[in-house]
Amino acid sequence: MRILQLGLLVALASGVAAILIYIIGLSNPYDRFRVTNDDLSALKALQSGFKKCVDANGLGLQAQMSQDYCHVTIQYPSETVPKWKDPKTGELEGLSFDFNLCEAVATWEQVRNSSTILTKEFIDSLPNGWEEYAWRRINKGVQLGNCRNRTLCMEKLTSVLPETPPFVPRQFGRCAVIGNSGDLLKTNFGEEIDGYDAVVRENGAPIQNYTKYVGRKSTFRLLNRGSAKALDKVVELDETKKEVLIIKTTIHDIMNKMIREIPIRNQVYLMLGASFGSSAKGTGLKALEFALSICDTVDMYGFTVDPGYKEWTRYFSESRQGHTPLHGRAYYQMMECLGLVKIHSPMRANLRREIKWLPNQSIINAARISSEKILRRFGAGTSNPFGACSIIKKRVKGKSPRIPNLREDAVKHQRHVKGATMYPLERNIGNGILCMVPNMN
Ligand SMILES: *[C@@H]1O[C@H](CO)[C@@H](O)[C@H](O)[C@H]1NC(C)=O
Ligand SMILES: *[C@@H]1O[C@H](CO)[C@@H](O)[C@H](O)[C@H]1NC(C)=O
Ligand SMILES: *[C@@H]1O[C@H](CO)[C@@H](O)[C@H](O)[C@H]1NC(C)=O
Ligand SMILES: *[C@@H]1O[C@H](CO)[C@@H](O)[C@H](O)[C@H]1NC(C)=O
């Protein structure tokens, strides 16, 4: 008898529990993060193509998949001899690197539609933008007491702070990003590089005396702190003086003085970048990020170390070392196999080289939506272009960006986002973005 009663009780309890779980499931606000079988198939399709792509195009690199739908490992051949040592730990770089494919797909697709230039409308629209953000982009900004005197802060930023974005997604067609690796001297890429619609260079990379290898054309230059402080030297590298300079760190009084007094007539901006965590750093990656935010396609030169490399050098100076060359090369291989960039190097010198096993747009789209759910991103799983906007602000009337003669693809994209600008938000949980929409009234 006892046992029967107990059995009944257990049955009742589990029934109630089941109903509870059902109700909680239905009313769960996170239900839109629910990953369906279709989502998992989409990620599986991406993963299997990805492995084939890395194996086919990676010059010996191999991708290993795990049970986890997002996790991939890119492995160098065991005979590779790492040369770079971490100056802090003294350890040699490893031969295998783990990446999160879901995070890469979701974040890079967002970069393709965002503005990566810091603007005044962005600071004005951030909650407490001046008090909490602006001073971080000014060297010794801490001393400005959270921009208590906003006029002073504005003065310091004025030479690098446009009201609205000076560039929009897909404004340029084919772009080339030129790294500074010594392997550029092995191939005469100059003429080919000059054939692109826009060319992005980095730091103090010279053009004169190297045009056979790196071309003449230069549209943008990404600058780290060191190069930005030597702005007067940097502007001499491009004879046309039309290069647009993009600083990835902060504005210095020294720079302001140079811009005013020398004077420097090039446009100078601060970059507003997405955050990729520790998986990817450095000027090279920032240059790619910038290019991907304004170009249809991005080709890269002078980044890679090909098998058998002796030492990572710069093309314009002996013995200067880069950092984490193997990690970088593996990350770029991931980007290539996600269809974001095309890598050119002495061993892949054919401009028209076909990248095998590239995912098509429908695979990328499906994988992005699934990844957003798995990563619990803001607005995950919607096809609404404003789904990821965690902050939406209306533009001040009459202050929309005006960029003449936009390419058809850029106009199409503007129509898709209804004239809005998307800005990445730093350290933002869920990777929500800030959206500035036009004021129609
Ligand atoms: C704020 O800074 C401006 C520009 O340097 C200065 O002219 C003004 O006196 C400052 N205002 C206050 C209240 O300190
Ligand atoms: C190019 O070469 C000439 C002659 O050797 C030299 O004077 C000049 O400084 C070089 N330019 C650069 C940018 O290195
Ligand atoms: C994309 O690729 C997948 C797998 O290779 C294929 O099944 C699908 O038909 C392709 N879609 C388009 C639009 O080409
Ligand atoms: C980016 O914009 C394109 C249209 O140009 C759209 O098809 C795509 O879904 C957008 N991607 C994201 C992540 O919003």
Say which ligand is closest to the CA of 237: 2
Q: How far is ligand 3, taken at its centre, from the CA of residue 360, in Å?
A: 6
Looking at residue 29, its pLDDT comes to 52
Q: Residue 191 and residue 118: Cα distance in Å, rounded? A: 33
Q: Angle CA(123)–CA(124)–CA(125) in degrees, nearest 5?
A: 90
pLDDT tens for residues 281-304?
678 899 999 999 999 999 999 987
Say which ligand is closest to the CA of 236: 2
Looking at residue 96, its pLDDT comes to 96
Q: Give the model's confidence band at 174: pLDDT under 50 very low, under 70 low, under 90 confident, else very high.
A: very high
Q: How far is ligand 3, taken at its centre, from the CA of residue 63, in Å?
A: 21
Q: Give the model's confidence band at 267: pLDDT under 50 very low, under 70 low, under 90 confident, else very high.
A: very high
Looking at residue 24, its pLDDT comes to 43
Closest atom of ligand 2 to 237 CA is: 13
Q: How far is ligand 3, taken at its centre, from the CA of residue 226, in Å?
A: 46
Q: Is 131 left (phi over 0), alpha (psi -120 to 50) or beta?
A: alpha
Q: How far is ligand 2, taken at its centre, from the CA of residue 239, in Å?
A: 13
Q: How far is ligand 1, taken at its centre, from the CA of residue 142, in Å?
A: 17
Looking at residue 14, its pLDDT comes to 54
Q: What are phi and psi of 335, to 5 degrees?
A: -60, -40
Q: Give the model's confidence band at 145: pLDDT under 50 very low, under 70 low, under 90 confident, else very high.
A: confident
The residues, any chain, with a CB within 8 Å of residue 248's CB and separated by 6 or more, are 222, 223, 224, 270, 271, 273, 283, 286
Q: Give the model's confidence band at 25: pLDDT under 50 very low, under 70 low, under 90 confident, else very high.
A: very low
Q: How far is ligand 4, taken at its centre, from the CA of residue 266, in Å?
A: 31
Instruction: Say whether pLDDT at 205 is over 50.
Output: yes
Q: How far is ligand 2, taken at its centre, from the CA of residue 103, in Å?
A: 44
* Residue that wins the pLDDT comparison between 318 and 387: 387
Instruction: Say whether pLDDT at 147 is over 50.
Output: yes
Q: What are phi and psi of 359, to 5 degrees?
A: -70, 140
Residue in the structure block whose two tokens are 């030479």? 159
Q: Give the model's confidence band at 52: pLDDT under 50 very low, under 70 low, under 90 confident, else very high.
A: very high
Indicate which residue's Cα is closest to atom 1 of ligand 4.
113
* 441 CB near ligand 1 (under 6 Å): no
Q: Residue 325 and residue 253: Cα distance in Å, rounded? A: 33
Is it true that the peptide bond before 77 is cis, omega within 30 degrees of 0?
no
Looking at residue 275, its pLDDT comes to 64
Indicate which residue's Cα is closest to atom 12 of ligand 1.
149
Among 103, 107, 109, 113, which is best to mutate for testing ligand 4, by the most ligand atoms less than 8 A from CB? 113
Average pLDDT over residues 215-219: 97
Indicate which residue's Cα is closest to atom 2 of ligand 2.
209
Say which ligand is closest to the CA of 41: 3
